[in-house]
């Protein structure tokens, strides 16, 4: 069984009164490749920004190697 590298649980992102992402779950194991596809405005860039900790989700969690990165400071994220 591969190590879980990245896990997204119930992630939503809301800008003003509009959800760009709503209740997204995803699991990426070590050595796996994924593609994020969708039409313009569907939340692809927002998802990538949340995964890289540029943005924080409105709700939900992002785990990197089991560690919840949504609760970390910018300094702690930079150390990862």
Q: Along the 80 residues of the chain, how does pLDDT read in single tens digits?
A: 679 999 999 999 999 999 999 999 999 999 999 999 999 999 999 999 999 999 999 999 999 999 999 988 889 988 88
Tell me the whole-structure pTM to 2 decimals. 0.89
Domain of 55, CATH number, reads 3.40.50.300
How many domains does the structure of the chain reveal? 1
> Cα angle at 39 between 9 and 70, to 5 degrees?
25
Tokens of 5: 């590298």
33 is in which domain, residue-wise? 4-79
Are 61 and 70 a contacting pair, CB within 8 Å?
yes
């Amino acid at each position: 069984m591969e190590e879980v590298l990245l896990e997204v649980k119930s992630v939503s992102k809301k800008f003003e009164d509009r959800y760009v992402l709503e209740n997204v779950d995803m699991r990426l194991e070590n050595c796996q490749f994924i593609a994020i596809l969708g039409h313009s405005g569907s939340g692809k860039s927002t998802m990538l920004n949340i995964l890289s900790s540029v943005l924080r989700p409105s709700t939900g969690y992002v785990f990197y190697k089991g560690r919840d990165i949504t609760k970390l400071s910018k300094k702690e994220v930079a150390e990862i």
